[in-house]
Amino acid sequence: MTANLIKGKSFRGALKYNLDKVDKNVAEVLDHSFVKVSEKMILKEVQMVKMLRPNLKKYFYHTSINFPYNENLNNELMKEIGLEYLKASGSNQHQYIMFRHYDADHPHLHILVNRIGYDGQVMSDSNDYARCEKVLRELEKKYNLTQVISSKQAKERSMTKNELEMMKRTNMPSQKMAMQIILKNVLQSKYKMNTNEFISNLQAKGVDVLFNQASTGYVSGISYSYQGMIITGAKLGNDFKWSSIKNTISYEQERDRTTIYEANLRSKSTIDQLRADNEHAQGNRANAQQGNVKYGRLSDSAQTRGLFIFSPSFTARVIKEAVGQSERTAEGVVNAVFEIPKGISLATLLDSNPGRHHFVDNNQSTLGNLSVKKKPKKKKRRRLRL
C-alpha cells in the first residue's frame, strides 16, 4: 500500500470532492462517525468540534490509501483496514468519514479525519509521514497484502502519477528518469573506478556533480546537476546517496580532496551559465518535456543545492529496455536522448510492469485546498465630507 497524507484547512472542499464522486457513482461511503451522511449535517458537526480549538488552521487530514491493482478487496475488508489505520494512527476518537473510490484501475480508499478530538485534544502531526508509512507496513503484514519497500530501503524512488502519465503520453523517459539511468549505467562499471573517473564519466554524459565538502575535505553529501536541474542523491534513491557511492567507487578523502573541490567549481560554473541563459535552457528538449522546470540564480551556499528538486522515478524494466545516448556539442551543451527500441512503446513497458501502481498520487495534493469560491467584497466608496 501507498498513501498520500494531506493536512488541510478546508474540510468542506475535501468533503465536497468525495461526495461529488459518490453522486457520480464512482465512489461510496464505507463508514463514518456522523449522525447522517449529509454535507450540511457533517459540516455542522465538524464545526461544533472545531470550536474547541478555534485557532487551529490545518485541523484535518485527508488520506488516500492506494492498494496494488491486483489486490482483490471487498468493502468489508477495506473498511476494516481503514479502521485499523485510524486506530494505529491515534485517531479512533476523532470524527471521520471513509470513502471507497472506483475511478482508477487500482483499489483506493479516502479518509477524512478531524485532528481535533471530542475532548479537544489535537492529534500530533510530528513525523506524521513516517508514522503513516510504519502503519501501512504493519497492515500489509497483518492482512497478508502485497509488501511495499519502505522509502528508507528503496534503492530508487518510485514514480509519481503525473510522471507516469507524462511518460506514457510523450513516450519519452522523464528528466529524472534519464538522470537515474545515466547514474546507474556509470555505476555498473566492471572495474572499481576512482573518484576522478566517476566524475569524468558523469560529465561526459551531461551530469555534473556537486559535493557537500567541508573545509577539512570531509564529504557529507552529493547532488547531481542535469540540464540546469539540481537534485540530491537521497532524492534519487539510496543507491545514489554519497554513503553508497563512496563504497562503490575507490574514494580516499585526502587523495581526492582537490579533485572534488575542482569538480565543484566546474559544476557551479556550468550551472550558472545555464541559469544565465534561461531561454536556451527552457528551449532544450529534455526540459521542454517537463514543462514546469524552474530556473533561478544558484546560491553560493552549498546548503541550498537541494533546490529545484524533483522526485525521481523509473522501473527496472524500463531501464533495461531504454537505450541512452548523449553527446556534448562544441559549445559545451549536452544533448541527451533516451530512445525506446522500435516496436516497443514506453506506455507498454510501464503498463506491463508489475509495480507500476506503486506510485504516489500527487494529483491528490490539491484536495486539501479545495474550497468554495467566495464572491469578492465590493469596496466601499468613501464620501468626501466638506
The one-letter amino acid at 289: Q
Of 42-51, 153-162, 196-205, 229-238, give the lowest mean pLDDT range.
Answer: 153-162
State the residue for C-alpha cell 525521481.
Answer: 312
**Contact yes or no for 208/227 (Cβ under 8 A):** no
**Contact yes or no for 175/289 (Cβ under 8 A):** yes
Helix/strand/coil for 246:
helix
* Alpha carbon 62 to its chain's center: 17
How far is residue 374's CA from residue 28's CA, in Å, rounded to a whole number? 29
State the pairing for strand pair 27-32/94-101. Answer: antiparallel
**Contact yes or no for 37/97 (Cβ under 8 A):** yes
Q: What is the DSSP letter of 26?
A: S
Q: Which residues contact 166 (CB under 8 A, 6 or more apart)?
A: 174, 289, 290
Cα–Cα–Cα angle for 338, 339, 344, rounded to 5 degrees: 140
What grid cell was written down for 206?
A: 551531461
Whether the pTM exceeds 0.75: the reply is no
Closest to 139 in 3D by CA, of 200, 84, 83: 84
Cβ neighbour number for residue 210 with a 10 Å cutoff: 23
Torsion, Cα of 86, 148, 351, 359 (10° steps)? 50
**Residues 331-360 pLDDT 10s:** 443 444 444 444 445 554 454 443 443 333
How far is residue 32's CA from residue 23's CA, in Å, rounded to a whole number? 17
Residue 192 vs residue 148, higher pLDDT: 192
Report pLDDT for 151: 56
Q: Residue 303 pLDDT more than 60? A: no
State the pairing for strand pair 60-66/108-117. Answer: antiparallel
Level-2 CATH architecture, domain 2-148? 2-Layer Sandwich (3.30)
Mean pLDDT of 273-300: 46
Q: Residue 149 pLDDT more than 80? A: no
Closest to 201 in 3D by CA, of 214, 189, 213, 217: 189
Cα–Cα–Cα angle for 383, 385, 386, rounded to 5 degrees: 140
What grid cell was written down for 157?
A: 524512488
**Contact yes or no for 174/163 (Cβ under 8 A):** yes
Q: Is the dihedral of CA 287, 163, 184, 295 positive or negative?
A: positive
Report pLDDT for 226: 82
Where is 259: in which H helix or E strand? Answer: helix 257-276
Q: What share of the chain is helix, strand, coil (3-state, %, to 5)?
A: 40, 20, 40
Looking at the DSSP assignment, which residues form a beta bridge with residue 339?
Answer: 323
How far is residue 233's CA from residue 221's CA, in Å, rounded to a whole number? 8
Q: Residue 255 pLDDT more than 90? A: yes
**Residues 95-108 pLDDT 10s:** 999 999 998 888 99
How far is residue 234's CA from residue 229's CA, in Å, rounded to a whole number? 15
Q: What is the DSSP letter of 240?
A: G
**41 — pLDDT class (breaks 50, 70, 90):** very high
* CATH 3.30.930.30 domain range(s) in the chain: 2-148
**Residues 72-97 pLDDT 10s:** 899 999 999 999 999 998 888 899 99
- CA separation, residue 179 to residues 94, 233, 235, 305 (Å): 44, 11, 12, 16
Helix/strand/coil for 334:
strand
